[in-house]
Amino acid sequence: MKKLSSFLLLLLVVFTTQAQIQEPVKFKTELKTLSGAEAEIVFTGTIEAGWHVYSTDLGDGGPISATFNVDKISGAEVVGKLTPRGKEVSSFDKLFEMKVRYFEKTAQFVQKIKFTGNDYSIEGYMEYGACNDENCLPPTQVPFKLSGKAAVTAATSVKETPAASVEEPVASVSDSIIEPAATAVTPAVGSIDLWKPVINDLKKFGEANSQEDMSWIYIFITGFLGGLLALFTPCVWPIIPMTVSFFLKRSKDKKKGIRDAWTYGASIVVIYVALGLAITLIFGASALNALSTNAVFNILFCLMLIVFAASFFGAFELTLPAKWSTAVDSKAEATSGLLSIFLMAFTLSLVSFSCTGPIIGFLLVQVSTTGSVVAPAIGMLGFAIALALPFTLFALFPSWLKSMPKSGGWMNVIKVTLGFLELAFALKFLSVADLAYGWRILDRETFLALWIVIFALLGFYLLGKIKFPHDDDDTKVSVPRFFMALISLAFAIYMIPGLWGAPLKAVSAFAPPMKTQDFNLYTNEVHAKFDDYDLGMEYARQHNKPVMLDFTGYGCVNCRKMELAVWTDPKVSSIINNDYVLITLYVDNKTPLTEPVKITENGTERTLRTVGDKWSYLQRVKFGANAQPFYVLIDNEGKPLNKSYAYDEDISKYIDFLQTGLENYRKEK
């Protein structure tokens, strides 16, 4: 038993050591001979759920494209370019702000070659990029080495001969450099080994640095708030007292009436949750995610929100065909028991569509970006609970009905307010399409100007300065309306500095990127002093300062978000600029090394060819991680001062991360 326990403990230690190394993609390589003197090198990859591998020829400024690279070749020549095969997903990526193509679950790339002699030898690698919703891997290589005999005669047909599979290696602590080059890898600080692994040292600080996924809670709360909004609309609120009274009067037994009201509320929940599940089961979570970033879809959804906004303003009335609700209602009257109650709940869903439709639509679009099958169902669960709650509560406490606010003009105020919000969100969806097609009609300052006007007009409406067709002539402004107007006008004023480049963190998720801003006075940005690890460490040693390593990438969107949302904070920027030596290392830097460096990882030989390869290897071998962004604090000898930090825009956590590192550094001195 002790032996078993020891073995399990050892297994746990090994697992935690490799916990941060991500290997979501595995490729195998084979050679398939064709008729005549031609053959294909086929790279077939399996991709973990949530990850995707990018295709070829994506262009500059985007993710890493798949490429075919040859180091040595004899007896053969390359024909054409690397070709993707299989089902490609093509969509506009809001993060990269361009249209991208990628593979999910499986990926296949093919490179055609032509034999020029009987003996051939080919050595090289395929390079690819992979990302999920939170981070990206550095440029990853799939090495291959093929040799053999081939018939040159075109009439000769050769059977397919698969080569040995080549699995992509994963870094480990025991990795070694076979042919070190002084200019590429050797540390510059005396005899101190700055490349020594510190994975165990990081664990002492509690390196199990997995963020808690609060997305489901957030989705539920968002759905619940949406249900509360729908509750106070003219489509739903007047129905509550009528429905509850019906349940209480239809039966002489009060307990049965209450039970029916509970059943009614549960039926509403079942209907909306089933709708959320049906949407993802029909279309699929990945399809919804791709749809949410599709330019055409965003244009259509923008137009839909504008139409609903016009309807809420009183231009016209949107309703479903009357025969639908009539048919369901008559069916409910013809039946009895639980089925009749369920059909009554279904009737409510149809009748209230004109008010609930835009809220549900916006909710589903937002949660679809999570890529989760259950996310829309969770959102709809929150929405339905908020919608069903009053029916149940008023049935339990019938006396509350007397104190229930009567239907009136206040509901139209809520409806018009929703119209303004829908108009604002319509611009958000139009912005996605604008970036996709490069129209440049909705740059950041244009977007902010429109939002400022919309929320200012909303504030004036709530103060009674603007009237719509369905509004009452009452000149009095209630206290709730006054505070809503105050919030709206304050928000409009808050956005005004953004016209000159202020970050506006509250709207960063909605507004176009900062680079679309034509006029920008904001200069509070943090820039690294060094982009070379060894030189930066030497400088830190001479000036007796700790180091902050920033493993990043040119195509890392979350890295840019951290730099804009967190590094621009005055306290954060002050600590980084004054107390640390910031070294930024780009893992996708394509600058060639002075000479290639061969290394061994997990018993497999690899070659470092670029500066990015070098920094990626450093991240893997020293810190046991390979995703970006990745921040780690170290002293002059390369020892960690705190656990690492990944993507998390919580400024207080980041400040605590930096200050803890400083405190530990001072303790060493």
Domain boundaries, the chain: 25-149, 215-404, 408-519, 533-668
pLDDT of residue 494: 94
pLDDT higher than threshold 80 for residue 465: yes
Tokens of 482: 């006054």
DSSP 358-411: HHHHHHHHHHHTT--SSHHHHHHHHHHHHHHHHHHHHHH-TTHHHHSPPSSHHH
Q: Cα–Cα distance between 589 and 128 in angstroms, integer?
A: 14
pLDDT in tens, 635-652: 988 899 988 898 888 899
> Taking residues 234-250, what's their average pLDDT?
68
State how far the Cα of 104 lies from the Cα of 51, in Å rounded to an integer: 7
> What kind and span of H or E run contains 271?
helix 254-283
Answer yes or no: is pLDDT of 330 > 70.
Answer: no
Place 440 in a pLDDT band, splitting at 50, 70 and 90. Answer: confident
Residue 361 in this model has a pLDDT that exceeds 80: no
Query: Which pLDDT score, from 0 to 100, does residue 247 have?
Result: 65
Q: Do the Cβ atoms of 398 and 248 come closer than 8 Å?
A: yes
Query: Which residue stretches of 438-496 are H helix?
Result: 444-462, 479-495
pLDDT at 188: 39
284 dihedral zone (left: phi>0; alpha: psi -120 to 50; beta): left
CB 657 within 8 A of CB 205: no
pLDDT at 1: 43
- φ, ψ dihedrals at 133, nearest 5°: -75, -15
User: Up-side HSE of residue 524: CA atoms within 13 Å toward CB?
Assistant: 14
Note the CATH architecture for domain 25-149. Sandwich (2.60)
Question: Which among 140, 139, 147, 148 is positioned nearest to 167, based on CA atoms?
Answer: 140
Rounded to whole angstroms, the Cα distance separating 630 from 28 reads 29
The residues with which 164 forms a beta bridge, in sequence order, are none
pLDDT in tens, 471-507: 777 778 889 899 999 999 999 999 999 898 887 877 7
Give the tens place of pLDDT for each residue, 543-584: 899 999 999 876 565 676 787 788 888 899 889 988 999 999
Tabulate helix, strand, coil % of the chain (nearest 5). 45, 20, 35
Dist. CA 580–CA 634, nearest whole Å: 10
- Mind listing the pLDDT tens digit for each residue in 163-192? 333 333 333 333 333 333 333 333 433 446
Helix, strand, or coil (residue 70): strand
Whether omega before 629 lies within 30 degrees of 0, making that bond cis, reads yes
631: confidence class by pLDDT, cuts 50, 70, 90: very high
E strands, 150-246, are 176-179
Q: How far apart are CA 201 and CA 214, in angstroms?
A: 29
Q: Which residue in the block uniquely carries the two structure tokens 């808690």?
A: 212
* Dihedral, CA of residue 393, residue 397, residue 401 and residue 407, to nearest 10: -10
Task: In whole angstroms, give the CA distance from residue 58 to residue 618.
Answer: 27
pLDDT band (50, 70, 90) for residue 248:
low
Closest of 101, 116, 203 to residue 152, by C-alpha: 116
Q: Which amino acid is at 157?
A: S
- pLDDT tens per residue, range 7-23: 344 444 433 444 456 67
Per CATH, the number for 533-668 is 3.40.30.10
609 pLDDT higher than 70: yes
Q: What is the C-alpha to C-alpha distance for residues 86 and 106, in angstroms, rounded to an integer? A: 8
